[in-house]
Amino acid sequence: MTLRAGILGAAGYTGAELIRLIDQHPQLSLAYVAARENAGKSLGEMIPSTRGIQGLGDLVLQQFDEGDAQELAKKVDVVFAALPHAASARLGGALLDAGVQVVDLSADFRLRDLSVYEAWYGAHPRPELIAQAVYGLPELYRKELSGAQLIAGPGCYPTSVLLPLVPLFREGLVPIDQAVIVDSKTGTSGAGRKPLPSTNFSESGEGMRPYKIAGTHRHTPEMEQELSVAAGSEMRVLFTPQLAPMIRGILTTTYLRVTEDFDVTTCIEAARKHLGSNLITVLEGDHLPDTLHVRGSGRAQIAYAHDKRTSMLIGMCAIDNLARGASSQAIAAFNVSRAFDEDAGIPRLAQFP
């Protein structure tokens, strides 16, 4: 069975990654691409890697509006919405109304509490759809994703935090009366394709800098929401994101207070129990996560260490922010919703070196 896929926001980095993954997916064909600012241009003009590929590079980017939903519903079975927040809910909501499955890669349906969403993002265009959305982290919501028509793709940073930590809270391995300390380093592609002074090579290639610190980054409430569900108690996160001089990847290091005699092998066992997946590697011994070792793949590397001197547990995770942190995770969640192989169309091996 081959399903017809569409992409809204196909000219951005996340859209480009979706194109690559859909093109190699055994049960998807790319039937529609849209990009508001670049409507009328061919895919080959905007995504150079598609040039010369018949049926792909010559696809023309369309301008999609809410009134086009019924007509588009005749041409596609699923749409991946790689749009800014609010626009994604408005346009994706129209497609959902028309009977199209929607995988949303924005923040519009990640937060279950409307008041929390409004506090961080402003007014929600389709608040009545929030309860319908399923959080698209397959390892944690596999059962709920089955048959889902509206999938909320997790944020890249939250993915790198939740994968190593949720198993620990589900198993009650760590105290819940503490804030979770999160330090994350990401590549410049996370800022999107539009050029910014802070992310061009001349101003980022030789430096590293924190940004949106002290509880001001919009991914914070998403982390707190999912960790609170896992812990069964309200959790708080101290999150410090940092821009690193690389294009792709996120390396997250988390810190939790435990006891001096804590057994770190229990973390490895919990991760394998709760994250059973072909797309997760739980490292042991001297092996530690490395963004280079997941670059371009849909995999995540996880590891744990215990510092007895300070009685702190260190949980680590490396992902590709555009793949596991966005597009390949969206494909994996879609696969689960349709009872396809979870890793169908998703590269297992990283681009190395």
Element (H, E) at 240: strand 236-243
Strands 209-210 and 236-243: antiparallel
Helical segments of 127-236, H only: 138-145, 156-170, 201-204, 220-231
Q: Which amino acid, 252?
A: T
C-beta separation of 133 from 104 below 8 A: yes
Of 72, 156, 223, 300, the catalytic one is: 156
Catalytic residue check, 156: yes
Q: Rounded to the nearest 5°, which phi and psi values hold at 60?
A: -100, 130
Q: Kindly report whether the peptide bond that precedes residue 353 is cis, defined as omega within 30 degrees of 0.
A: yes
Element (H, E) at 304: strand 300-307
C-beta separation of 345 from 28 below 8 A: yes
Q: Would you mind telling me the total number of residues written for the chain in this entry?
A: 353
The residue among 11, 280, 285, 297 whose CA lies nearest residue 140 is: 280
The token pair that represents 341 in the structure block: 């192989």
| Residue-wise DSSP of 30-52 | EEEEE-STTTTSBHHHHSGGGTT
d(CA 337, CA 226): 20
Residues with active-site annotation: 156
